[in-house]
Amino acid sequence: MNIRTLLVVLAAAAPAAAQPRDSTGSTAPPPTTVIPREGCVTAECHPGVKAKAFLHGPIRVNGCDACHTQTDAALHKFEHVRDRHELCALCHTTEVPADAFQHEPFARHECLSCHDPHASSEPQMLRGERYADACATCHTDMTGAHDRVHGPASAGACGACHQPHTSKLPKLLNAEGRELCLKCHIRIGLDIESKPVVHAPALGECGVCHDPHATDHTALLVEDPASLCTQCHRDIADTMSTATTQHAALTSKRACLNCHTPHAGSHAALLKDDVKSLCFECHNQPVPLPDGTSLVNMKQVIETGTSLHGAISQRGCVECHEIHGGGHRRLLTNEYPSDLYYPFTESTYSLCFSCHDRQLVLLASTDSATSFRNGTTNLHYIHVNRDTKGRSCRICHDSHAASRDKHIRDEVPFGPGGWNLPIRYEPLADGGKCGAGCHSPYEYNRIAPVKYEPPPPGGAWKGVDLAPGSLAQPPKPPTPRK
């Protein structure tokens, strides 16, 4: 008995349970005679060949011999009718153009690296349960353990962006640069074409800002918004890093994206809306501050006020407030008193003097610098220009809006107890009248100044630079003992 006959006999005699399963799930012993090709796939012989939804054409018609030829019936030995890549090319000759960039398995003629020759869950006969399974065999680092994955990558649709075999473009892309992205992101493309303000990077490569597969950042950004934006906007980065007062919009996760649209918009500086409306997206409710206090509902104050500060009615919030951080409280662009009472210096009111003529409070007597005067006696000067206890603007004026002309308050929070000190201002034809909680009622007239008696001798009042009654009078001297 020769060795071949011995092997055939041993194979035929071996129990079925002892036969190893082949890659197609066979459990039956190899046959020792030629069988019809229709018998290749049975419950016991190569059952896995037809176990998927999509069958290779020859398999669908039981044409196993289109690719395989039996070379030894006794040993049930088969070989391919051609070398593998030549075998595929017998049918697939016109489907693949010879472009400049070729997928490495294709260039090496390794079709079976990606394709199953028998059956697949994918119409392209790819290995695995979805498109990406075949790709992930080699490209293991495309999505990783990231929080955010690009839709096509998440769905395993690598072919949405990449050609599988060859391409005229690097990375086997289907289209060049942003044209590829805009095939899906149509709205962004329309904005770029139609909006008057366009972000320069949006006219170039999307990959400058976005990762096409997966990241840990919103909108698939390659870095968190603040870090990414400040790579180009270095001046803003410097402002943010040196600011002693931070804008909460920039310290939140979305950072720059809270106020700016990244691609194209209708407003200057790519703002998402006009300045006031944009600020109201956050300041439409009390905003907590780090010191435990809170900002008022600014939207309500401004929309219910009938007299608006000119900076707001004409130019908006940015006239007085920094956007990206600054060196003054409440993000003010310059110095402004933080308390109701403040020693007067010109630098203390730098914010106000950026618009208002400083003569308003520097001249003790004037007939033109202010309308708040009794004849030529400058009542702004009397209230504000004091070395120790000058009254700041905010005692009488709301910085944003109020119901009275010149945005004069109805009342002002005063003292630690939260008492609302009433102002009780009433405009008159040539002046006005004030019965504030801090002094007795007084009237002033620009044309016919009102005369007041000076305080009694020995009082605390030091001359005409203070209206009578604006400081508490000292007690009368005690009556001498008899």
5-59, pLDDT tens digit by residue? 333 333 333 343 333 345 566 666 777 666 666 678 887 788 888 888 999 999 8
Whether residue 372 is contained in a domain is answered as yes
Q: CB-based contacts of 355: which residues, under 8 Å, 6+ apart? A: 310, 311, 319
Whether residue 86 is contained in a domain is answered as no
Three-class SS state of 210: strand
Whether residue 318 is contained in a domain is answered as no
**Angle at alpha carbon of residue 418, lines to 414 and 424, rounded to 5°:** 50
Distance of alpha carbon 416 from alpha carbon 111, whole angstroms: 81
Based on the fold, state whether residues 430 and 352 are members of the same structural domain. yes
Position of tokens 């691609």?
Answer: 263
Tokens, residue 39: 């018998």
Phi, psi of 52 (to 5 degrees): -110, 170
- What pLDDT was estimated at residue 349? 97
Based on the fold, state whether residues 438 and 341 are members of the same structural domain. yes
Position of tokens 């960039």?
Answer: 101
Please give the tally of structural domains in the chain: 3
- What pLDDT was estimated at residue 84? 77
344: exposed, middle or buried (Cβ count in 10 Å: 0-12, 13-18, 19+):
buried
Based on the fold, state whether residues 253 and 334 are members of the same structural domain. no
Whether residue 223 is contained in a domain is answered as yes
- What pLDDT was estimated at residue 375? 96
Question: How is the beta sheet containing 425-428 ordered, strand by strand?
Answer: 425-428, 431-434, 442-445
As a whole number of Å, the CA-based R_g of the chain is 42
Distance of alpha carbon 115 from alpha carbon 85, whole angstroms: 12
The last residue of a domain, from among 266, 288, 311: 266
Based on the fold, state whether residues 334 and 237 are members of the same structural domain. no
Of 115, 59, 56, which Cα lies nearest the Cα of 84?
A: 115
Which residues of the chain fall short of a pLDDT of 50?
1-21, 458-482
DSSP letter assigned to residue 305:
-
Residue 193 CA, distance from chain mean position: 22
The last residue of a domain, from among 266, 289, 316: 266
Tokens, residue 174: 């289907």
Distance of alpha carbon 229 from alpha carbon 269, whole angstroms: 13
Q: Where are the beta strands (DSSP E) in 68-132?
A: 68-72, 77-80, 101-102, 119-120
Based on the fold, state whether residues 336 and 441 are members of the same structural domain. yes
- What pLDDT was estimated at residue 276? 92
Whether residue 476 is contained in a domain is answered as no
How many Cβ atoms from other residues are within 10 Å of residue 202's Cβ? 21
Whether residue 243 is contained in a domain is answered as yes
Distance of alpha carbon 79 from alpha carbon 60, whole angstroms: 20
Based on the fold, state whether residues 334 and 262 are members of the same structural domain. no
Distance of alpha carbon 221 from alpha carbon 56, whole angstroms: 41
Domain hosting residue 343, numbered range? 329-445
DSSP letter assigned to residue 377:
E
The last residue of a domain, from among 35, 55, 81: 81
Helix residue ranges, H only, 195-343:
225-229, 234-242, 248-251, 275-280, 298-304, 310
Could you please report the per-residue DSSP string of 100-117? SEE-HHHHTT-GGGTB-S
Percent of the chain having pLDDT more than 90?
58
DSSP letter assigned to residue 338:
S
DSSP letter assigned to residue 234:
H
pTM: 0.75
How many Cβ atoms from other residues are within 10 Å of residue 36's Cβ? 7
Q: How many residues does the chain have?
A: 482
What rounded mean pLDDT belongs to the chain? 85
Whether residue 139 is contained in a domain is answered as no
- What pLDDT was estimated at residue 455? 53
Whether residue 471 is contained in a domain is answered as no
DSSP letter assigned to residue 67:
T
